[in-house]
Chain A
Amino acid sequence: MSHDQWGFVFNKENCIQCHGCEVACKTWRNIDLGVNWRRVINLWSGEYPHVTCSSASIACMHCIEPACIDVCPTAAVSKHATDGIVLVDAEKCSGCQACLDACPYEVPQFGLDGIMQKCDMCLSGKPDGSNFSQKAPPCVSTCPTQALVLQKMTVSQKKEAEQTIKVLLNNQ
Chain B
Amino acid sequence: MTKQPEQASENCAFTLDQAKAVAQEAGEQVVPTYCAMCGPNPTCGIYAFVKDGRFTRVAGMAESPLNKGGVCPKGHAAPQWVYSPDRLRKPLLRKGAKGEGVFQEISWDEAISVIADRLRQQKVQYGPESLAILSPARRSYSDFIQRFLIAHGSPNYGHSGICFVQREFAFSYTIGGQPRCDYKNADLIVLWGRQPIYSGPAMGPARDLVAAKRRGAKIIAIKPSVEPDVGMADIWAPLRPGTDAALALSMLNVIIGENLIDAPFVEAWCYGYEQLRAHIRKYPPEWGERISGVPAGQIQEIARLYATTRAATIDLGNGVEHAPSSSDAIRSVAILMAITGHLDRPGGNLLGGGRRSMPSPKTVNLADRYTQEMVDKLVGPELPKVFQPFWGGTSSAYYRILDSVLTKTPYPIRTIIAPGTQPTVSNRGSKRVVEALKKVDFYVVLDVTRTADMNYADIVLPVSTPYESDHPFESRGNWIMARNQVIEPLGDYKSMYEFFLDLGVQMGYGADFWNGSITDCQNYQLSPFGLTIEELREYPVGLVYDPKGNARSYENYSRIFKRRSNALSHEPYLPQGKVAIYNTTFEREGYNPLPEWREPPESITGTPELAKKYPLILSDYHTSKVYSASWQRNVPYLREIQPFPTLHIHPATAAARKINDQDWIIVESPHGWMKVKAELYPGIRPDTVMILHGWWQGCRELGFDDMPILDGGANVNNMYSVDPDQAFDPLITAMSSQTLVEVRKYEP
Contact = CB atoms under 8 A, between A and B. Distances in A.
Interface of A: 6, 13-14, 16-20, 22-24, 26-28, 33-34, 44, 46-49, 51-55, 82-83, 123, 125, 127-128, 130-136, 138, 140-146, 149-152
B748 interface: no
Given A48-B238, A54-B231, A142-B202, 4 more contacts: A13-B213, A142-B76, A143-B70, A152-B7
A24 B76 contact: yes
A143 B197 CA distance: 13
B701 A23 contact: no
Interface in B6-35: 6-8, 10-14, 18, 21-22, 25-26
Q: Closest 7 A-B residue pairs measured CB to CB?
A: A144-B70, A23-B73, A18-B201, A23-B76, A136-B12, A17-B228, A144-B202
Interface stretch (B112-120, B635-643, B728-736): B635-643
B207 interface: yes
A130 B25 contact: yes
A145 B10 CA distance: 10
B724 interface: no
Contacts of B8: 136, 140, 149-151
Contact of B228 (A16, A44, A143, A152): A16
Contacts of B77: 23, 27
7 contacts: A19-B626, A82-B1, A83-B1, A134-B3, A142-B13, A142-B71, A144-B207
Interface of B: 1-8, 10-14, 18, 21-22, 25-26, 56-60, 67-73, 75-77, 79, 197-198, 201-203, 206-207, 209-210, 213-214, 226, 228, 230-233, 236, 238, 625-626, 636-638, 640-641, 650, 682-686, 701-702
Contacts of A20: 70-73, 75-76, 201-202
A150 B6 CA distance: 10
Contact of B210 (A16, A27, A127): A16
B682 A44 contact: yes
A134 B638 CA distance: 28
Contacts of A135: 5, 12-14, 18, 22
B547 to A, nearest CB: 19
Contacts of A127: 26
A145 to B, nearest CB: 5
Given A83-B4, A132-B22, A53 B12 contact: no
A51 B206 contact: no
A136 B202 CA distance: 18
Contacts, number: 170
Nearest to B68: A144
A52 B22 contact: no
A48 B650 contact: yes
Given A133-B4, A151-B7, A16 B683 contact: no
A152 B4 CA distance: 10
Contacts of A17: 197, 228, 231, 625
Contacts of B57: 27-28
B194 to A, nearest CB: 14
A23 B682 contact: no
A33 B636 CA distance: 7
Contacts of A82: 1
B640 A34 contact: yes
A145 B207 CA distance: 6
B12 A52 contact: no
Contact of B682 (A33, A47, A136): A47
B6 A123 contact: no
Contacts of A34: 640
A119 to B, nearest CB: 16
Nearest to A19: B73
A141 B59 contact: yes
Given A23-B76, A141-B14, A52 B5 contact: no
Contacts of B206: 16, 18, 144-145
